[in-house]
Amino acid sequence: MAENIIAMTVISYLHEIFTVLWIGGMSVLLLAILPAIKISIPDKKTRKPIVDLIQKKLSVLAITSMIGLAITGLLMTNRLVTLNGLFDFSNQYTIILSIKHIIGIFMIIIAIVRRYYLDKIFGSKNPNKEKYNVLLLISNVLLGWIVLFLGSYLVKIEPSI
Instruction: Give the model confidence (pLDDT) of 48-106 as tens digits.
Output: 899 989 988 999 999 999 999 999 988 888 776 666 777 888 888 889 989 999 999 99
What is the predicted pLDDT for the residue at 19?
95
How much is the average pLDDT of 132-142? 95
Q: Is the pLDDT of residue 44 over 90?
A: no
Could you state, in order of their start, the residue ranges of all structural domains in the chain?
2-157
41: left (phi over 0), alpha (psi -120 to 50) or beta: beta
Mean pLDDT of the region 127-142? 91
- In the predicted structure, residue 160 carries a pLDDT above the cut 70: no
CB 26 within 8 A of CB 144: yes
pLDDT at residue 141 tops 90? yes
- Give the model's pLDDT for residue 81: 62
Measured CA to CA, the distance from residue 94 to residue 77 in angstroms comes to: 10
To 10 degrees, what angle do helices 128-157 and 92-112 make?
A: 160
pTM: 0.87
Farthest CA pair distance, the chain: 60
3-state secondary structure of 78: coil
Mean pLDDT over 122-128 rounds to: 78
